[in-house]
Amino acid sequence: MAVLSIKENVFSVGAEHWDRKLFDEIIPLPDGTSYNSFLIKGKSKTALIDTVDPSCQHILIENLKKLEIKNIDYIISNHAEQDHSGAIPEILKIYPNSKVVTNSKCKEFLKDLLLIPEEKFLTINENDTLSLGDKNLKFIFTPWVHWPETMVTYLVEDKILFTCDFFGSHIAKSELWANDEKIVYEAAKRYYAEIMMPFRNNIKNNIEKILKLDIEIIAPSHGFIYKNPDFIINAYKDWISDNVSNNVVMLYVSMHGSVKRIVEYLTDFLIEKGINVLPFNLTVADIGEIAISLVDSATVVIVSPTFLTGAHPLVYFAVNLFNALRPKTKFISIISSYSWGSNIINSITEIVKNLKAEIIDTILIKGYPKESDIQLLKNLAEKIFQKHNALNLF
Residue numbers at the binding site for ligand FEO (CB under 6 A): 79, 81, 83-84, 146, 165, 222
Shortest distance, position 248 Cβ to ligand FEO, whole Å: 31
Q: Are 253 and 281 in contact (CB under 8 A)?
A: yes
| C-beta closer to ligand FEO: residue 48 or 263 | 48
Question: For the chain, first and last CA: distance in Å?
Answer: 45
Residue 363 · residue 335 · CB < 8 Å: yes
Whole-angstrom distance, CA of residue 304 vs CA of residue 314 = 9
Which residue intervals of 146-254 are DSSP H helices?
181-191, 200-210, 229-240
Q: By C-beta, is 321 or 360 nearer to ligand FEO?
A: 321
User: Which helix H or strand E contains 17, and what residues bound it?
Assistant: strand 15-17
**24 vs 119 by CB, closer to ligand FEO:** 24
DSSP letters along 296-334, please? Answer: TEEEEEEEEEEETTEE-HHHHHHHHHHHHH-----EEEE
To the nearest whole angstrom, how small is the minimum distance from the Cβ of residue 384 to ligand FEO? 36
Q: What gap in Å lies between CA 142 and CA 26, rounded to an integer?
A: 25
89 or 310: CB nearest ligand FEO: 89
Core vs surface per residue 83-122: b (16+ CB within 10 A) or e: bbbbbbbbbbeebeebbbbbbebbbebbbeebebeeebbb
| CB 112, min distance to ligand FEO, A | 15
- Identity of the residue, 84 or 173, whose beta carbon is nearer to ligand FEO in the bound complex: 84
Residue 348 CB, shortest distance to ligand FEO, in Å, is 30
CB of 310 to ligand FEO, least distance (A): 33
**Residue of closest CB approach to ligand FEO:** 81
Tell the smallest beta-carbon distance from residue 60 to ligand FEO (Å): 15
Taking the least distance from each CB to ligand FEO, the nearer of 81 and 373 is 81
Sheet with 136-141, edge to edge strand ranges: 129-131, 136-141, 151-155, 160-164, 217-220
Q: Which is nearer to ligand FEO, 152 or 251 (CB)?
A: 152
For ligand FEO, the closer of residues 79 and 99 by Cβ is 79
What DSSP assignment string belongs to 228-246? SHHHHHHHHHHHHSS--EE
CA dihedral angle for residue 55, residue 25, residue 29, residue 304, rounded to 10 degrees: 180
Give the shortest CB-321-to-ligand FEO separation in angstroms.
18
CB of 196 to ligand FEO, least distance (A): 10
Burial class of residue 370, CB neighbours in 10 A (0-12, 13-18, 19+): exposed
